[in-house]
Each structure stands twice: as structure tokens, then as C-alpha cells.
Structure 1
Amino acid sequence: MDTLSKAKLAMDTVIRIKVVPGHHRLLQEAEERINRAFMVFRSIEQACSRFDVNSELMRACRETGRPVPISPRLFEPLKFALAMAEVTDGAFDPTVGLAQEELGFNRHYLTGETARSTADRLASFRDIVLNERDRTLFLRTPLVIDLGAVAKGFAIDLAASELKDFAGFMIDAGGDLYAGGLNERGELWQVGIRHPIYKHSCLQTLDISNQSICTSGGYERKSPLMKGVHHIIDPKSRRSPNEWISCSIIAPFAMMADAFSTAAFLMNAENGERLIEQAGISGIMMSSNFRIVNVGGI
């Protein structure tokens, strides 16, 4: 069966999209839909990037003490991030942006420009108020919101909606992915989860359809300013947790898999595993002593 594949750079990673149209006459439409899917990633980046001082997110973060109207492409991932913060009692907290800036995670991947913000170091997710009716954001104190644990998953889900009518498709955004339908052989998509230590090996291989797999780990993005710190930062200690090396989540939606992989990584083993099981999803985690833990029926 014919397939169509394209790749573009967005959101600090290479986005790869593969479509199985299901019929030769749908090839042209597949290309148009793939281009629309890439446009989704650009629009979410423009709305949610912490690294662009002109993004909708960073413009809103400069407004304190008054309600600011925001677009659905910022409102929805922020709403989900705040719900995760509530569920985890602040272990997952989107106001960790200032701590990330201070640890050197503030350089734009395209321009090289660095973001430097003035904010309240004691701010938490409880200082953010979203008004569902008016779709406004209200900040009680100056803070920096980081949506790195939800925005890419949200973009993947919106891009998947552009491709859902085809026989099959795969969206891979730097290892975070969604597989829809069946592959070109009419089979489930076979997906390998990268081993966090041996980068050319797989930790585990899964056959999936209409599911997402997202991974959080501290083995790639290291702080240029502090040894032993990576980009996943505990909002309370302002340091990186070290109980897990990687945490991969399998879920029906990419934003869910994205957020839960980060949340479980930030929590201790007992709480992280409970979080995954209570959500009815699955996880594959590697502990700091290289033990592989399967959660939720994998």
C-alpha cells in the first residue's frame, strides 16, 4: 500500500509524519492534510512557547492582576496542566518556568536568544486562575508558566485530528508519538521505546493502534549551569528528581501521555505508579538502579 512521509522542524524537535492513505486517489489529499498538521505544530508553538518572548504565553505572563483573554490553543493545554497540578498536589506544576530559566533552560532553539524573566520565586499553580466562561487567564503574582509537559502532546493530538480519516498514520515528534489506524501492511504499528542508556537499542517494543506513547527522561537535556540537573525540575526543591531514568506512558491521547510521563517522573515510585494505575493507562519506567517497572498491564 502506498505511503507518504514528510518531516519538518518545529517545537525544538523534528516532526515526522507518515500517512497510509488507503487509496491511491487520496495521496494528494494526504499531502494537503500533512501540511495542515505541520501548521498545527507551528500554531501551538506560537501560542505556548516559553522561549519566545513574543509568544501568546509569554505576553500573558507579563500581565499580573488583571484577566487576560487567551486563545483556545493556549487555554486548553494550560487547563490540563492545572488539572494535573491539582491531581498531583503540586508535584507537577506549570509555574516551574522561572526555575528552568535560572538553570539555563532559556535559549530559543532557532534564534539563540535567551529569555530572562522577573517573577515571584514562591509562586505556584494556585496563583493561576482560569475563567472557563470568558476564557481568560488571571495571575495573582508575577510568574513564568512552562507548558513543556503538555504543549507538544496537545499539538500531536490536534495534528492527529487532521489525519484521522486515512487508513493509518504515524506522528513522531522527537520520540513522542501517536499511531492511528493500521500501517501499510494492514497491521498494528510497531513502536520501539528508546533505551535511555543505550541510545541505539529499544527498551521495549509495542504494537499499538489509536494510542500515544510519550517519554520523559533526564538523559538528554542537561543544565549548562548546574551539574546533575536536567530539564525536569521539582517545583519545590528546584532540582531534578533522580528516582527514575525514564518514564514512558501509553495513553489514548498524546497530551495525556505527555503530562503523565512528566508527572510520574517527578513523583516517588509508589505515588507515580498509583497515579498511572488510577488513570487507567500504562507505563514503562526505568529506575535509577536500571530496574524496569511495567505499570498498568503492559
Structure 2
Amino acid sequence: MKKRILGALCALILLIAVILSSCASTEPRSASFQSMDTLMTVKVYGGDKDLCDRLQQRVTELDALLDATDENSDIYQLNQNGKADVSNDTAALLERSLQLSEKLDPAFDITIYPAVKAWGFTTGDYRIPDDDELKQLAAKIDDTAVQSDNNTYTLPAGVMLDLGAVAKGYAADQCDAILKEGHADAAVLNLGGTVKLYGKKPDGKRFSVGVADPDNPAGYFGYLSCEDGVVATSGGYERYFERDGKRYIHILDPATAKPVENGIQSVTICCDDGTAADALSTALFVMGLDKATAYYRAHPDFDFIILTDDHSVYLTEGVYDEFTLCDGYDFHLKKVDR
């Protein structure tokens, strides 16, 4: 009888342990930290207990390498000296960025940094360059001038790099590898305008990603239901200044070195590749609606959500049925077919 009671007691203890373990696995571990000039939040379900720390460490490492304003970074040294030996991470992202630039030419170019500086977007000391200065700046925007020999990169005089349009996406790709190595069940990483989704929620449901309302960036005008991939948004509301009633946004057209003015408020890209998602969100913003739509139809590996000034929302067929407009918004949803 004692053996039976002991056996039943052991079975009960084991059952409680399993239930508690199961309940614990549904509760995510999370962390928030500042990196790449924004607040980031990582939320991880299951896997190794130190995953949040490892994710934060990896993003922070990349920020230290890629920040053009950090005197110790690879990019700063390359910009200042015109030549530098860079880390494997920096070299990998530079090569990928140049490949993307070739595909997205002329709407995406990583040598736009002198123009970004001239407008004051790196320091907050905003100014409007005159036409002659803009022509000179635009003439220096040419990433075909970037030379490399293994991890040694060389820039011509006056050419400088800015990887801000792809750094978060690259970080998202690197975090994906860490989540796999750490046996995570699921994760959602908000890297400041670039959201990395990994797996499904423990209840089997997909994640909902909010798309920011440019008139109220703390809120959302809609939600996208998705899993496994990256959702990256670029918008003129993120950084801008106003002069004489006119708004100048931080997204510049490489062809003119001027802030983009084409009726688009934001571009959200959904795809499996974080680096590509980041680059595409900037490039399609620069392209404008018609050229962005044409590019989408020629390249089937991504989807987009484009919000225009007249509050029309253009959604490609891959995300149209997965998007929900928030209550109180009378935006017009328009489907973009292949």
C-alpha cells in the first residue's frame, strides 16, 4: 500500500512538473535595449535561457561596426580615411548592399551619406542645400566607385557610405541564426521599424504586426497577420524637419540628393530576407507607386503595403487577405495583383 501511495505521489509530482513546464514555455522571455539609434525589444518563446542576452549582444556588436557616426566603427574609419580593413560582418553587408543596389538602381545607393550629412540628418542641425551644392552631392552618389580587395575597401575622394538603410535588416538575419542555434520555439524581435518574426505563437496563432500611422507614429492604422519572415517599414514621418511650412524627410533620392516628394507616406515590405526587406522599403519609397508596382510585378519574392498621401493603402496579393484596417480609419484598401 505504501508503494502504491508513493508511486501515485511520484506520478502526481511528475504531472505537476510537466504542467508547470508547459505553462512556462508559453510565457516569453523579453528584453529591451537601445541600439542603432532606436529602442529595440526582443521576445523569445522557448529555447536556451540566455537567448535574449545573445540577441542583444549580437545587435550591439553590429551597431558598433556599422554606425557611420561612431568614431570606432568600420564605416566611420572607411569614410574618414578612404580606405580601411573591415570585419567579416561589415564586408558581408557591404557586398550584399552593393548587389541590392545593382538590382534597385537608381533608387538605392549606400554612398548617399554626404547628402544625408549636408541636410543635417546626422546631427539635427538641419539646413537646405542650394541647387549647386545638390548637384555636387548627387554627382558623388555612385556606389560603383566602391572598390574592394577581400576585406579591404577603398573609396574615392568625397564618397562616403551609409548602411543605415540595411543595418537593421542584416541584424534581423543574424538574429535568425541565433534563434535557430538556440532552439527557440518562436520569437518576435522589434528592431525599430524592422520586425523579425520566427515561428508561430505557442497557441499556434500567427503574429500580428502593426503598421504605424504616419500622423500618429505611436499608433497603427492596420495590422498584418504573418509568421516567419521580416516586416520592414520606411516612412517620411520617422525623421524630418520643417521650414516655411514645408516638410523635408530623411529619405533622399540618390539621383537628386533631395528629400523624396512623391505622394507616399510609408512603405512596408514583407519577405524572408531581412537585408533585402530593409533595402526594398527604402528603394520602393524612392521609386514612387507606379515604379514600385512595376518592380513588384517583375520580382515575385516580396510583398508590400504602400500608404499614400490620399490615405489609399495599396496591398499586394500576398498580404491583402492578411491585413486588417483598424477601427476608426476610413482608408481605401486597393489590391495590387501580379
What is the TM-score when the length of structure 1 is the normalising length?
0.86
* Match status 1:62 vs 2:80: yes
Q: What does residue 116 of structure 1 align with?
A: none
Match of 1:247 among 256, 267, 272: 267
Given candidates 44, 56, 61, the residue that maps to 1:19 is 44
Question: Match for 2:291: what amino acid?
Answer: N
Partners of 2:161 and 2:188 lie apart in 1 by 30
Q: Alpha-carbon deviation of 1:201?
A: 4.2
Q: Residue 86 of structure 1 corresponds to which residue in structure 2?
A: 102
**CA RMSD of the aligned region, Å?**
2.1
Normalised to the residue count of structure 2, the TM-score between the two structures is: 0.76
SS in 1 for 2:255: coil
SS in 1 for 2:293: helix
Q: Distance in 1 between matches of 2:59 and 2:222?
A: 28
Shift, 1:205, TM fit: 1.6
**CA separation in 1, counterparts of 2:148 and 2:311?**
40
Q: How many equivalent pairs are there?
A: 277
CA, structure 1 residues 211+289, in 2 after alignment: closer, same or farther (shift >3 Å)? same
Q: Partner residue of 2:117?
A: 101
Question: 2:287 matched to 1:262?
Answer: no
| Deviation by residue 1:224-270 (Cα, 9 ceiling, x = unmatched) | 78952111111222211122100000010221111100000011322
Q: 2:227 aligns with which of 173, 192, 209?
A: 209
- d(CA) in 2 for partners of 1:179 and 1:158? 13
Structure 1 position 166 matched with structure 2 position 166: no
2:302 is equivalent to residue 284 of structure 1: no
- Residues 89 and 253 from structure 1, CA distance in 2 versus in 1: closer, same or farther, beyond 3 angstroms? closer
Pairwise CA distance, 1:106: 1.6
For residue 295 of structure 2, what is the aligned residue in structure 1? 275
Gaps of 5+ in 1: 113-119
Return the alpha-carbon distance in structure 1 between the equivalents of residues 270 and 281 of structure 2: 9
Cα shift readout 1:14-65 (whole Å, capped 9, x = no counterpart): 11111110xxxx5xx23x121111111111111111121321101012233x
Q: Is the 8 A contact 1:260 1:276 kept in 2?
A: no
Whether contact under 8 Å (1:276, 1:296) holds in the other structure is no
Stretches of structure 2 lacking an aligned partner (at least 5 in a row): 1-25, 126-135, 320-338
Amino acid in structure 2 at the alignment position of 1:258 = D
SS in 2 for 1:160: helix
| Aligned partner of residue 222 in structure 2, secondary structure | strand
What are the within-5 Å matches in structure 2 for residues 219-258 of structure 1?
219-223=237-241, 227-243=246-262, 244-258=264-278
- 2:44 touches 2:187 (CA, 8 Å); kept in 1? yes
Partner of 1:187: 205
The 8 Å contact of residues 90 and 125 in structure 1, kept in 2 or not, is answered as: no
Shift of 1:126: 1.6
Higher-helix-fraction structure: 2
The one of the two structures with greater contact order (alpha-carbon pairs below 8 A, sep at least 6) is 1
**Contact 1:264–1:276 under 8 Å retained in 2:** no
Task: Report which stretch shifted further, 74-83 or 92-101.
Answer: 74-83
- Report the AA paired with residue 165 of structure 2: A
**8 Å contact from structure 2 (residues 44, 51) kept in 1:** no
Output the CA distance in 2 between the equivalents of 1:150 and 1:13: 14
